Structure 1
């Protein structure tokens, strides 16, 4: 019907001819279902993405005694592990993780590291090479069954197999003990997830201790034992259990840890206990150990030791921190009616930044993540400042971000610190509660966590400078060559460009899902449902993909396939636009329009010159040469023309007559998918009167032709421009082809001196100016006159 009513406006065609006909791709269909890529649903994991009726998972409970040697920077420990087999399988051996063996002299990680030497090397780089002989691996001195019988065991780098004397049948448990020791690494020389920092000014150490005990590996319905070697990137897969951990440290150390302190009367003063009680009823953090008290402890060394005992229920791991330098503050909040003690431990070197922000950030993170996922159910949440830049454990995390020695700091330092605390505290949800397999899939914890981190940052401060989450922030990465990218669905140890791939890209994808594809209402419900279903369980990628589809009621296989399984990028382009209006058939209207277009048409160069050079033509001089056609106006409507129009209209229905005279504008927009990644088409139309309209076309527009389509837009007013992705929603890597007519955006180049002085941060600059202004008149700022 349309082709009979449309006519092309001769001088209003804005582009070349139409694109090729839309036909189904002969290659891989980007809208094919994720069949072979996902595991077959079963009674353990359903097709909806929920745990099945026979879902099971193992349990490991720990009783640990550990001692910190502050003179030798070493750990000694012993543990009793009770392992309960809740699987339907009979187990003849168990696998235990020895992650500290990444620092063993025979470490696979060190043996397989690659690198290059250069003409110039930093001292830190040299120190790293020369510290490669540091021996920080576990020294296992004993593995025994409860009752004292030695258990045969084999150590395979970061994994240890323990052979059981009798098979462990379903619903049975076994208790065994391990004794071990190891040397703690200097975190500033050997950068790991755990270690110490030495402060030469006061000759003290600050310890952040994790992966400090042999830990049970996961045995699951999905893959059996998860015993991939720990090489550095792929973090940890761990079962849930209850922990009781006794930490013996120097008597003047303050020890913070996963869980709840069981013996405050033995390790805290009466004043400290009173302050902790006060922290339960305040809206701002209360100092449990003040900066002055911490400084006094730095100078006056107490003799002897104290043992701090912590207990934690239903957690997958345990970590702790210890130092006489710690300032300690706390503030209790209520989450879903339950108290959560938010706390921070930090040396004086962290102030004023840490005392002002850390615990407030912890509380904000717990509240915001609970809103977007599930309510936080653990009793504490702790942020520790020390040598580790950022690392997460249940209820406790290690975070960087330190001001200058004069107490000033840059905006980057401030927001970097707030962001890392949000990120690491947020890991309580992913993967400490929603317990994905980090050894295999980094994106399932880092990517999902980075996404909610972005949401939390935006609720901290208006226009917070988030580094990840917004589609525009990942464009540079998406532009890089496919030879230096890997799909998100790549094992953690094989990922290229780890930060962009495992953190930013999945987080950005979820933001696109939330804002552009599903909308906030559908997305937020589905995301919370995933968290609810898999809280305190072991989800796999298929469980996430299926739950998001199941709870949103939307087929998203095309999105998972493109964003997670390929290295395609978004580059949608407007190839051309054609403008049509309806021919009304009314000779008076149509002929007047033709006359207007004719008069508006530009004169050719010859026509312009002829007007100047030919003063008079022959017909001008001899009017007798004129005839009928010299006076004939082909655009004048004749009575015959009007009669034909009236006869035509008389045959139309009232609805057809209304459509004929509607004055609508039709635009045929030719679109191409140059980047290969299927995305919704977000189009902004600007009308002749300056007003704008945005149309969001679902990605299914590409379902019959993944590479090129045409779309007709019908408007009441003339459109002067079309722009794709006007709000930068889809991480489009080339905006130069997104507009019609084309727009040219200016770029910039920067001028600089050959050698630039190191700049002070703005806070330092202002402080320096204030000091100068406060100087008495006549004093010099330095130098000689």
Structure 2
């Protein structure tokens, strides 16, 4: 979903996925570089330690056959479905859980996740209503008419708010399937007034509706190896956890409506005019968008409301959901796109009312085509036959179809902000075909796994659309304002969807920015892209969890990124690295090295300073025979020395001369005399470790750049120093010159007054030949002092 500011930020953070367990929180190198370890779930036969699906991986499946009837006069949708559910799990199932998402629009059947409210500064008469206690039924939500097995026998069921449990007549075992039927209806809400993802929008000027039919049928919940039934209530925030399957859907609508949906239209020859059908066939080989339903045809249809009916038929294979749209207002254009990676022939399409014509006709279908081709480069080849964008004044995604905004002024003009916003939302929502429609994460639990990953690839796609495109999410500097908020207003990315306060920055921007930092600054594009593509390939058409992503990125890159996941995803610390001090020293090349004399005494016997209980018991145990007591060959000098059988003068002093350095020859001084040492002291004020990226500017105007990996902080997470040697004078030092790390305070990132040298460091030449012996040992060995070799 494209996050919009009108969505309320609600819920108090109640907990996160796992605690960031501090191994040694008071140490200056206590935790940031430790492995995630037990924070991640234990690998098993279903999910491996490498992040790949295991040899025992499984997932269940659900196939749907649905008939829908759209009553435009009553704004009611009536449906009947036959569901075939396949139990591929190793578990016996005694009941099934389904989602009734439309119940969230009901005043009495909704999830009941209350949020606090305060007296507003201003409101409207529509919202100023007397509090109804208890709440009256507003007439929305799912009305279940019949629930039966395949033979028509009633099934026992219970509805709990937005969830429905069907009790099975007998246990559903591994490898078995169960077929059941549901008839239902619901009143379609005005989504412009009531909010939500599906509903109708009324155009007062011409009296027509535009319907977006989403979350519209009872849908199977996911049953998985990591959670069992994912039957968390639908509150309107955390999106969907869904099962793959095949769909055959018929939609009975007014005859002048144009319908688009997930999947492929199977009876266009029956529902389109001959001219429209000819244009459809032309579009299937066109590299430019062809209007199948023209603007003139759409305008004419608006003026006459047909009382006749038509039935549209669509089929979709291996999808996790099904959505559709219907209106007589639609212009429809399409073109063919070829995906190079798999040579897939895709119909890129757009449907839009006349109010969006000047924008959508020019940009929408082209943006759809660009998106599926670019995402295919970075993830997996787009596998479906259709990808389409519907203008519906919102932003929401479903397999092969999404709903976006982008309308012009009445005179057909538009602002640059609307244009770029429209292109951005189309890329984002079409991109959701990959996350989560193909790489099928649990959105109800982890919003970031679809929104964050998708926003990241959206940024890459926007960049390839236009290098001047004003992307709002992805570049490191765009997350700074969020990262610098007081910590009581922040929560980790690894927070349940329902409990996030700053939903847009947390679920979209911060994970997208983190991935961009990994790609551009930490790993490099080639290494990152390969690992990211590996994750997409491994988990295409499967149900990944966060650990699968973290482990795959580590596994496929040979980069130990646990420090990054720990800090960026599990923590709330910001990046704030400071240059605290610059110290300059010059070389002393004229000093004569001194011969050093080191005095030693003889090592004392290596006796135990305490006879522990094990040694005492072993010594007194007559059944134990010690090896060295039995084998005389092992009784060397030190065996005897340790027992007082060898005598050594341990008071005698021994002297060792160390003379391995010499003065710098005159011939080499000219190369060294202008080298200066620059020690730069840094502190980690923010807490989140990051690479140290420096730009050096010299007095002659030249520049050099250097980057130290984040591991430079591994032994001291708070303060570090690094010394550089240059043969020309520095003028200034800039930390993070390209603003790559999301540093929240750039005022401490520049050092512009380089001091004169305040000290000297001695420089000698290493003598050629063997290094002095004995210096590392510290003492003359007793065997040598005693003049013995055994």
- Specify the TM-score bucket, using the shorter chain as the normaliser: 0.7 to 0.9
- The 2-side partners of 1:527 and 1:367 are apart by 16
SS at match of 1:101: helix
Q: Find the counterpart in structure 1 of residue 723 from structure 2.
A: 712
Cα deviation per residue 1:556-597 (whole Å; 9 max; x = unaligned)? 00000000001100000001000112112289xxxxxxxxxx
- The 2-side partners of 1:579 and 1:88 are apart by 68
Asked if 1:532 corresponds to 2:537, the answer is yes
Q: Find the counterpart in structure 2 of residue 392 from structure 1.
A: 397
Q: Find the counterpart in structure 2 of residue 600 from structure 1.
A: none
Q: Find the counterpart in structure 1 of residue 735 from structure 2.
A: 724
Cα deviation per residue 1:395-453 (whole Å; 9 max; x = unaligned)? 00000121111211111100000000000000000000000000000000000000000
- The 1-side partners of 2:136 and 2:539 are apart by 40
The Cα of 1:658 is off from its aligned counterpart by 6.0
Query: Which of 342, 365, 383 is 2:348 aligned to?
Result: 342
Q: Find the counterpart in structure 1 of residue 281 from structure 2.
A: 277
Give 1 or 2: higher helix fraction.
1
- The 2-side partners of 1:95 and 1:658 are apart by 82
SS at match of 2:565: helix
Q: Find the counterpart in structure 2 of residue 640 from structure 1.
A: none
The Cα of 1:651 is off from its aligned counterpart by 3.4
Cα contact 1:664–1:715 (8 A) shared by 2: yes
Unaligned runs of 5+ in 1: 1-22, 588-647, 744-785
- The 1-side partners of 2:494 and 2:702 are apart by 43
- Cα gap change, 1:251 to 1:689, in 2 (>3 Å): same
Q: Find the counterpart in structure 1 of residue 77 from structure 2.
A: 75
Q: Find the counterpart in structure 1 of residue 337 from structure 2.
A: 333
Cα deviation per residue 1:750-782 (whole Å; 9 max; x = unaligned)? xxxxxxxxxxxxxxxxxxxxxxxxxxxxxxxxx
Cα contact 2:29–2:714 (8 A) shared by 1: no
Asked if 1:152 corresponds to 2:156, the answer is yes
Asked if 1:116 corresponds to 2:118, the answer is yes
- The 1-side partners of 2:131 and 2:271 are apart by 41
Query: Which of 626, 649, 668 is 2:679 aligned to?
Result: 668
Asked if 1:684 corresponds to 2:695, the answer is yes
Query: Which of 304, 308, 318 is 1:314 aligned to?
Result: 318
Cα deviation per residue 1:140-164 (whole Å; 9 max; x = unaligned)? 1111111011111111111111110
- Cα gap change, 1:494 to 1:650, in 2 (>3 Å): closer
Deviates more, 1:358-367 or 1:650-659: 650-659
Cα deviation per residue 1:488-524 (whole Å; 9 max; x = unaligned)? 0000000110000000000000000000000001000
- The 1-side partners of 2:496 and 2:661 are apart by 71
The Cα of 1:662 is off from its aligned counterpart by 5.1
- Cα gap change, 1:662 to 1:314, in 2 (>3 Å): farther
- The 2-side partners of 1:461 and 1:289 are apart by 29
- The 1-side partners of 2:730 and 2:131 are apart by 64
Q: Find the counterpart in structure 1 of residue 559 from structure 2.
A: 554
Deviates more, 1:536-545 or 1:656-665: 656-665
The aligned length equals: 660
The Cα of 1:174 is off from its aligned counterpart by 0.4
The Cα of 1:135 is off from its aligned counterpart by 2.9
After superposition, where does 1:639-654 map in structure 2 within 5 Å? 651-652=662-663
Asked if 1:360 corresponds to 2:388, the answer is no
Query: Which of 740, 764, 783 is 2:751 aligned to?
Result: 740
- The 2-side partners of 1:127 and 1:528 are apart by 52
- The 2-side partners of 1:117 and 1:396 are apart by 39
- The 2-side partners of 1:299 and 1:650 are apart by 98
The Cα of 1:127 is off from its aligned counterpart by 8.5
Cα contact 2:376–2:382 (8 A) shared by 1: yes
Cα deviation per residue 1:209-257 (whole Å; 9 max; x = unaligned)? 1000000000011111111111111100001000001011001000000
Cα contact 1:344–1:382 (8 A) shared by 2: yes
- The 2-side partners of 1:190 and 1:656 are apart by 85
- Cα gap change, 1:659 to 1:489, in 2 (>3 Å): farther
Query: Which of 412, 418, 432 is 2:417 aligned to?
Result: 412
- The 1-side partners of 2:72 and 2:130 are apart by 23
SS at match of 2:313: strand
After superposition, where does 1:51-450 map in structure 2 within 5 Å? 51-109=53-111, 112-122=114-124, 125-126=127-128, 134-335=138-339, 336-387=342-393, 389-450=394-455
- Cα gap change, 1:109 to 1:85, in 2 (>3 Å): closer
Q: Find the counterpart in structure 2 of residue 462 from structure 1.
A: 467
Q: Find the counterpart in structure 1 of residue 6 from structure 2.
A: none
- The 1-side partners of 2:136 and 2:460 are apart by 40
Q: Find the counterpart in structure 1 of residue 586 from structure 2.
A: 581
SS at match of 2:453: helix
The Cα of 1:79 is off from its aligned counterpart by 0.3
SS at match of 1:446: helix
Q: Find the counterpart in structure 1 of residue 519 from structure 2.
A: 514
- The 1-side partners of 2:26 and 2:728 are apart by 34
Cα contact 1:127–1:189 (8 A) shared by 2: no
Cα contact 2:111–2:162 (8 A) shared by 1: no
User: Structure 1 length as normaliser, TM-score?
Assistant: 0.82
SS at match of 1:690: coil
Cα deviation per residue 1:27-70 (whole Å; 9 max; x = unaligned)? 74111100121000111100000000111000000000011110
SS at match of 1:278: helix
Deviates more, 1:669-678 or 1:125-134: 125-134
SS at match of 1:188: helix
Q: Find the counterpart in structure 1 of residue 646 from structure 2.
A: none
CA RMSD across the alignment: 2.2
SS at match of 1:352: helix
Cα contact 1:240–1:316 (8 A) shared by 2: yes
The Cα of 1:25 is off from its aligned counterpart by 2.3
- Cα gap change, 1:124 to 1:509, in 2 (>3 Å): farther
- Cα gap change, 1:682 to 1:304, in 2 (>3 Å): same
User: Structure 2 length as normaliser, TM-score?
Assistant: 0.81
Cα contact 1:584–1:660 (8 A) shared by 2: no
- The 1-side partners of 2:490 and 2:294 are apart by 48
- The 2-side partners of 1:189 and 1:661 are apart by 76
- The 1-side partners of 2:29 and 2:720 are apart by 16
- Cα gap change, 1:119 to 1:697, in 2 (>3 Å): closer
The Cα of 1:337 is off from its aligned counterpart by 1.4
Cα contact 1:99–1:211 (8 A) shared by 2: yes
The Cα of 1:280 is off from its aligned counterpart by 1.7
- The 2-side partners of 1:90 and 1:650 are apart by 78
Unaligned runs of 5+ in 2: 1-24, 593-658, 755-790
- Cα gap change, 1:252 to 1:699, in 2 (>3 Å): same
Cα contact 2:28–2:717 (8 A) shared by 1: no
The Cα of 1:188 is off from its aligned counterpart by 1.3
- Cα gap change, 1:379 to 1:124, in 2 (>3 Å): farther
SS at match of 1:351: helix
- Cα gap change, 1:655 to 1:390, in 2 (>3 Å): farther
SS at match of 1:552: coil
- The 2-side partners of 1:301 and 1:423 are apart by 34
Q: Find the counterpart in structure 2 of residue 697 from structure 1.
A: 708
- The 2-side partners of 1:361 and 1:129 are apart by 46
SS at match of 2:705: strand
Query: Which of 36, 43, 57 is 1:41 aligned to?
Result: 43
